[in-house]
Structure 1
């Protein structure tokens, strides 16, 4: 076998730290890497074409900035995938999974700042009633309005992000990858930008000068919204909030599943999980209150730990903590939960 750990295109098993990915997820990761490289090539072509035709249009300027920002999520993903592949060390006992969270935060802040910049810049142009000059080209002896070229470039830029975004969403959910999910959000902003820019340039052609700035402001609002949402999610993860779904809307179901699994053991009276999201994987502390008279052995604890870890590949680090009562910050399972599950082992 050739290539280093985590290198795309090699036959070596792919890992997230010490977690060896199942074959289907290994394939999904390779596909995600390919999609990100395709995205980068597509953006390079689009950015070049936009520069050629953009002229003085605020909408085209906004589209160009948005396309430049679109490089950040795929680059963050490709770098983070290599970093997190490194196994835990004495210096980094939890591994390097936070690299994904850092990449997510960097991409989100860039979106937030540039969205705000576009709104302020385009808004000032609208308030000052700046009329964007859209010139003409001389092509094969004919004078052609430059706006047609602008709209053609934007029209060509729409299908790629639509297709890539849909493909990335599915893989992001499989891998629990929030950088890839943010990139899919960015792809949605890309095609919306294309549509808004076409409307803005077309409005100028019809004599509605303010359409150009209005379209740029719409693009800025879209970027600002994506940035604010992703900044909130990234900060929550880095601040060790309870693990949530990839959209950040609700608690991740693995929290309750881990507690329910613990209650299937006869010697467990109560169980409560404290799970934090480290990137792709979760660090899990499972607090258990032993039943009265239960013989607590190392083997019993190890059986429980392995049983919980086997629930899902994302449960990379599982620590079993016997306690006399559950900590206040975990809601935990109850004896009624255990009865509803039907006995124990």
Structure 2
């Protein structure tokens, strides 16, 4: 699948998200102010932050698709992680602000029974709109391995829950439980803060060149390929993510009497086996003679990897 097709698809979804969020934000903020509903207003403010996060996602995605250059030989893929980080901070700020204001209103008794059907209608439209955005963003983000779009989709999933809570809170408010309006605001703020942490933590691994537990299979694939191709003592094995793919560096040992051509064939064999996964960005292999006596403290060996895996079981 070409980078051009990926760019077009991601840009299209991002633009749809921006315009949909603008419509929902205007609707909910207006109704929240007119009917003095803390829950609906809070939902509208949260959607307003989604306009910023969707725009950030679009910019970060476009930057990440730039080809490698002299200053960025590994490309610009980390821009998506940075974009996701910015999104997490915006979500966190919205959550804390909402928590403070909702708690204040609940404690001071600044709430009243809502009138009219428009607050309920706003919540229903919000659930439908956010569900639509979650489906297209999550599907597109996973398909094209866009971290920032997946992060934004998770924010949309959070918004579906919040809009549903708003609907329940407004419905209970209208039957006489006026205090449900600020209480729903407090519950929503907790959900917002939780999602902010999840987005932040998920992208921290990539920015620190780390791998998540579910991605450790790539090391097993490396050691398996080395064994199949006749390489000895794979060590200094280091794997990191470049965009949605794995960048692999390693050292191997071969018979010291082997000629360069035969040693090179072994490295080609290893790369061929690894690239069967179609999730490889690049593989760099350094060849050494067997029993090479050299202090090499970085990366993993098969033994150290298996030892760490046993500890985590």
SS in 2 for 1:318: strand
Q: Can you list the C-alpha shifts for 1:237-269, whole angstroms capped at 9, x where unaligned?
A: 21222x23xxxx533433322332232211334
For the aligned residue pairs, the C-alpha RMSD in angstroms reads 2.8
Whole-Å Cα distance in 1 between the matches of residues 95 and 207 of structure 2? 23
Q: 1:1-345 to 2 correspondence within 5 Å?
A: 14-15=2-3, 27=5, 30-55=8-33, 56-132=36-112, 134=114, 145-146=115-116, 148-241=117-210, 243-244=211-212, 250-270=214-234, 273-290=237-254, 294-295=258-259, 297=261, 299-300=264-265, 302-304=267-269, 306-307=271-272, 310-322=275-287, 324=292, 330-333=299-302
Task: Report which stretch shifted further, 318-327 or 214-223.
Answer: 318-327
Whole-Å Cα distance in 1 between the matches of residues 29 and 144 of structure 2? 36
Residue 293 of structure 1 and its aligned partner are, at CA, apart by: 5.3
Q: What 5-or-longer segments of structure 1 have no aligned partner? A: 1-12, 16-25, 135-144, 338-345
Residue 103 of structure 1 and its aligned partner are, at CA, apart by: 0.4
User: Any conservation in 1 of the 2:57–2:83 contact (CA below 8 Å)?
Assistant: yes
TM-score of the aligned structures, taking structure 2 as reference length: 0.83
The number of equivalent residue pairs is 297
| Residue 151 to residue 327, structure 1, CA distance change in 2 (3 Å) | farther
Q: What 5-or-longer segments of structure 2 have no aligned partner? A: 307-313
User: Any conservation in 2 of the 1:60–1:197 contact (CA below 8 Å)?
Assistant: yes
Whole-Å Cα distance in 2 between the matches of residues 121 and 289 of structure 1? 63
Q: Which residue of 1 aligns with 2:309?
A: none
Q: Say which structure is richer in helix.
A: 2
Task: Report which stretch shifted further, 149-158 or 66-75.
Answer: 66-75
TM-score of the aligned structures, taking structure 1 as reference length: 0.76
